[in-house]
Structure 1
Amino acid sequence: MDKKIQLSSKEKGVLLAEGIGTFLLFQIVNIILIVISELFYNNQNFGDINSVIAVLRSDLTHSTFWGIWFFLAVVILIELTVSINVAIKSYQQYEVHKVEKQLEIIAAGKLDQRIDLKVNKKLQGVVNSINLLISNTDEHIEEQKRSEKSKDELITNVSHDIRTPLTSIIGYLGLIESQNYQDIEQILKYTHVAYKKSLEMQNLVNSLFEYANVQHATSKLNSTHFDMVQMLEQLSADFELEAKKRNIKVNVVSDPKRIMMHGDTEKLGRTFNNLITNAFKYGAGATDLYLEAKEEKSEVVVTIANNGRQIPKESLPNLFDRFYRVEDSRSKKTGGTGLGLAIAKSMIEMHGGTITAASDKKLTSFTIRFPLTSEE
């Protein structure tokens, strides 16, 4: 909370003396002007003090006495106002001095501090703007730090994920290069492993390019008007054979039967494809996959759920982090890069939407909410 500037006794005395001194100076000037004007009017000698006193005495009994001193009273009131304004200006200069002192501290690098002073309205607007600027600058610096940390983590994770398959590729090809094999069958075994590891690397590189693309500030949406229910039905048809192999029934549910919205169908298709693929890969024991779309007020809500293995509760907050794997060994086995859900989240956010995950013994579900725009 801003604190009002408190003056010390010495500072109060200086400001008071400055105001009173200005007022007294005005009165001295008044007296001098009155004397000069009266002496001129009565043609008296300026050097004769008795003449000056006589003139002042005659004014006290003069018929225009009250008119003259009424005018003088008005002048004194104006001068008093000026004197008060001088004191106020001096106080405001003192406020500026205090603000400058705090700015010097902040300029020295202490961006966690703010100008916590309550000053006059005009200066308060400047102080508030400076505090806002400092806050934005501090936030920008923190964002840069987070970005640098994020880049370092990305490089570390990519290096780790590429090193593992690359080591295997070099190892098996090295055996062939050094002719450390028994027969053609063993050569084929080595090349097969190297090929599989190469596919893992290709999958990771493709995912990285896709993630970098959706994260880029210039990444744009090619929006069209489409039916969300129709998209889910098409996805159901695309995964029909895969579902039959796994003995999973795909259920498409919608309310209403037709939900029109704007969006990039290519990006949304990849997002839903990713979520459905994850359900097949990691939803062990699932018998049903649910693709549901409905309208809720000003939103389109899409849910992709399965009744397979539950995701541990402690893993749910980290699901959309880059390179996060619920079960590292299982994900590696299935070729997961740990980028799929991060990419899905970024694509959904590009559409102004949100995605959340929930999992219990009955269902594991991903719920996506899009803003519903009217048909153009």
Structure 2
Amino acid sequence: MKSSLKKRLVFAFLSTILVPILAAILTFYLGANQIANDEDELDQLFTDVRREIRMNEEKLPNQDAFYQEIKTLLDRYQMNITIEGEGDEVLFDSRTYIEVEELNSFLPNLNTFTIQVAGEEDRKWGVTIRANSAQSEPFKRMTDIVHILLLSVGIGVLTLLLMVVIWTTYISRTVLTPLKQIYQATEEMRNGNLDYPIQYKKRDEIGRFIQGFNVMRQHVKDSFTKQKQYEDARKQLIASISHDLRTPLSSIKGYVEGLRDGVVRNEEMKQRYLQVIHDKTTHLDHLIEDLFEFSKSEADQLAIEKEVVNVVEYFEKQLIKYQFDLQEQEVELSYTIEPQPRSILLDPIRIEQVMSNLIDNACRYGGTRIWIEVRPDQSERNVIIRVVDNGQGIDKEDLPYIFTSFYRAEKSRSTQHGGSGLGLSIVKSIVKAHDGEIDVESESGQGSTFVITLPLYVNGEVVDL
């Protein structure tokens, strides 16, 4: 389940406010329940004071006599009373008879109460009750209430501080730390280190941002890697072109100079020179054509014009032609084509280029017998083309690289055996453009087997491999 950073921040804000308030209210509620029973005792105090004053109101003018009557009440509750008549006239103050110490309380007025007492003949007195001790009952109740109130506020403040610390730590880990990691990663990228992924597993806004950052970093890394590969390929291309073009051009130049300088003495030698010049120019033409095809395949501009053809008719026509051409080179070519009619969508010229390249390679590297098999696979979804020769084969260490541009298994780069090093790279590009695959099996001295897999055209559509 995705976690929204916005929701978490709102929750953090609300919980930071509400949790301390709830903690304070709960603390006050629990404490208030403990002193709720003291309320009856305070009411009883007021009742006793009213009763004693009414019972002894006739002695009120004589303060000494009045004091003696209520002294027991004052001692029992550890209190003093002041009675005021109309016009705030003080009729009695027990503090005249009792030495009163200052209460050790930061809020002494909490232990002071004022009540109205009605006497006979509609007389009313204002009675102020003061506690001599903050710990005496029932005056202790008010002190306890204040203590509980202060405790509630203190717990609320502590809870607030705790929530602030918790959420600050959480936000620091889930927001600030990832942002710091992103900053560090950008610094690493700026310094050229593209192998610096950010580890963050949450699927929130920060997580999606970091995931996008990692994708961007990987894309930049791949782009730099690809750019470097292109740069290396460009350098290799320049070096290969220089070598491959210089050799035949030097030969042509030498033979032309021989003809110009009159080295040729007879017609037979002249024809030999001209034949060599012709062969070298043909080789140059092939090199230039390969480079042209390679540049188009690298730029994904290799022209492919597909059409639906019959497998048997197409390949049989091509192989018969090769069979006739190879007779002059004393190379035996045999083939097997499964006769069932099947269709395939391909570019006839490009696939002919593929077959021609594979057959030429087989001849160039010592093949005297070539066997080609064309048949569908067991699923009846693809056609398999196998080109098998008995040539010198390919060393095991060279097999992974033979489809790489400019790679030659024959290291001498002689024009007798080696071509431009682009033929198989172009072959792979053409097969890939037909949604197919090409593979090779070979051992040194035991020939090679190239296997091409192309999707058949069934019920009006190309079948996926």
CA spacing shift, 1:86–1:241, aligned 2, 3 Å: closer
For 2:256, the equivalent position in structure 1 comes to 173
Q: Distance in 2 between matches of 1:54 and 1:187?
A: 140
The 10-residue stretch of structure 1 (309-318 or 102-111) with the greater mean CA deviation from structure 2:
309-318
After TM superposition, the runs of 4+ consecutive aligned structure 1 residues lying more than 6 A away are 52-55, 75-82
Check if 1:332 corresponds to 2:415. yes
For 2:226, the equivalent position in structure 1 comes to 143
CA spacing shift, 1:166–1:101, aligned 2, 3 Å: same
The one-letter code of the counterpart of 1:293 is R
CA spacing shift, 1:157–1:52, aligned 2, 3 Å: farther
For 2:376, the equivalent position in structure 1 comes to 294
Q: What secondary structure is seen at the aligned counterpart in 1 of 2:383?
A: strand
Q: What secondary structure is seen at the aligned counterpart in 1 of 2:377?
A: strand
The one-letter code of the counterpart of 2:448 is T
Q: Distance in 1 between matches of 2:335 and 2:179?
A: 72
Q: Distance in 2 between matches of 1:204 and 1:258?
A: 38
Q: Which has the higher helix share?
A: 1
For 2:295, the equivalent position in structure 1 comes to 212
Asked if structure 2 preserves the Cα contact closer than 8 Å seen for 1:95 and 1:119, the reply is no
Deviation at 1:159, TM superposition (A): 0.7
What percent identity do the matched residue pairs reach? 25
Number of aligned pairs?
331
The 10-residue stretch of structure 1 (172-181 or 159-168) with the greater mean CA deviation from structure 2:
172-181
TM-score, L = length of structure 2:
0.59
Asked if structure 2 preserves the Cα contact closer than 8 Å seen for 1:200 and 1:335, the reply is no
Larger gyration radius, structure 1 or structure 2: 2
Q: Distance in 2 between matches of 1:294 and 1:155?
A: 42
Say what the alpha-carbon RMSD is for the aligned residues: 4.2
Asked if structure 1 preserves the Cα contact closer than 8 Å seen for 2:367 and 2:389, the reply is no
Q: What secondary structure is seen at the aligned counterpart in 2 of 1:333?
A: coil
The one-letter code of the counterpart of 1:370 is L
Equivalent runs, 1:108-147 vs 2, <5 Å:
108-116=191-199, 121-147=204-230
Q: Unpaired segments of 5 or more residues in structure 1?
A: 1-18, 32-47
Deviations 1:308-327 (A, max 9, x none): 54444444333323334444
Deviations 1:278-332 (A, max 9, x none): 334434342x522322224343321111345444444433332333444466962
Equivalent runs, 1:1-376 vs 2, <5 Å:
83=164, 85=167, 88-103=170-185, 104-116=187-199, 121-182=204-265, 186-245=269-328, 246=330, 248-254=332-338, 257-286=340-369, 288-297=370-379, 298-327=381-410, 332-333=415-416, 336-360=419-443, 364-372=448-456, 374-376=458-460
Q: Distance in 1 between matches of 2:255 and 2:373?
A: 43
Q: Distance in 1 between matches of 2:199 and 2:413?
A: 55
CA spacing shift, 1:195–1:52, aligned 2, 3 Å: farther
Q: Distance in 2 between matches of 1:228 and 1:96?
A: 60
TM-score, L = length of structure 1:
0.71
CA spacing shift, 1:296–1:53, aligned 2, 3 Å: farther
Asked if structure 2 preserves the Cα contact closer than 8 Å seen for 1:325 and 1:331, the reply is no
The one-letter code of the counterpart of 2:199 is D
